[in-house]
Amino acid sequence: MIDSHAHLNDPQFSADLAEVVARAEQNGVSGIINVGYDLLSSQKAVQLVEEYPGLYAVVGVHPHDAKTWDSSVEQAIADLAAHAEVLAIGESGLDYYYDHSPRDVQQAVFRAQLALARALNLPLVVHSRDAARDTLEILQEFSDVPCVLHCYSGSWEMAREYLKMGHYFSIGGALTFKNADRLRSVISQIPIERMLVETDCPYLAPVPHRGKRNEPAYLALVVRQLAELYNVTVEEAAAITERNTRLFFRINEED
């Protein structure tokens, strides 16, 4: 299994990172993609790649931090992206739930990172919350950039548009929540060939760890729920989602 979206670059892991990585391995997680959310966390994600085998990085600026974006940050992200283990730009997008950065700034920084991904020939990891319409419109302007809709929580109608565009989806602990029947019904309609699994740790721990610090070792709980939804075995769900992750992020089998 590959955890397609983690934040081991988050300070919450600084005290026991080696143990967290070891537990992931013991629980069948052979790859972890650490995603940046600002310049510092992107640098940290790249640094971790050098310290631990099986780790990969995605570099970019989260919509919460869009207000920190300027030409020097853009250049620094582009420089980091040249690293061989950097797989994509992100997480980037729109978050109108928290509105930590002004919406026009979020939109401009989202477009800037899509343009960067296009220029560098890299895919993009999308964060979208309460901004479905604007996210779709902006992604349509960059329809040649392959995207994964991380922690997908949108409607089936929106998912259908993204499927037509060739995009992928990833889902994590939210899928196991008791009150997530609508989400499970949307996800079950998306072909499993377009689905990745993630933890988004330290956030969104799956049941029975909900509310605690999440970590990649819990990924199997997400895969188990996904297997049930798609009526396949846990082994099949693990193999298919790992293959999808390698395809989307262009990770070689030998890596």
Provide the binding-site residues for Ni ion, judged by CB under 5 A: 200
Cβ distance to Ni ion smaller for residue 200 or 215: 200
Q: Measuring CA to CA, which residue among 56, 38, 41, 47 is closest to residue 9?
A: 41
d(CA 42, CA 40): 5
Cβ distance to Ni ion smaller for residue 47 or 234: 47
Cβ distance to Ni ion smaller for residue 89 or 227: 89
The one-letter amino acid code at 87 reads L
**Buried/exposed 180-217: b ≥16 CB within 10 Å, e otherwise:** beebbebbeebebebbbbbbbbbbbbbeebeeeebbbb
Residue nearest to Ni ion (CB): 200
Cβ distance to Ni ion smaller for residue 3 or 200: 200
The least distance separating Ni ion from the CB of residue 26, rounded to whole angstroms, comes to 24
d(CA 121, CA 191): 26
Are 74 and 60 in contact by the 8 Å Cβ rule? The answer is no
The least distance separating Ni ion from the CB of residue 138, rounded to whole angstroms, comes to 19
CA distances from 190 to 167, 227, 233, 244 (A): 11, 13, 17, 13
The least distance separating Ni ion from the CB of residue 96, rounded to whole angstroms, comes to 17
3-state secondary structure (DSSP) of residue 139: helix
Cβ distance to Ni ion smaller for residue 8 or 227: 8
The least distance separating Ni ion from the CB of residue 243, rounded to whole angstroms, comes to 22
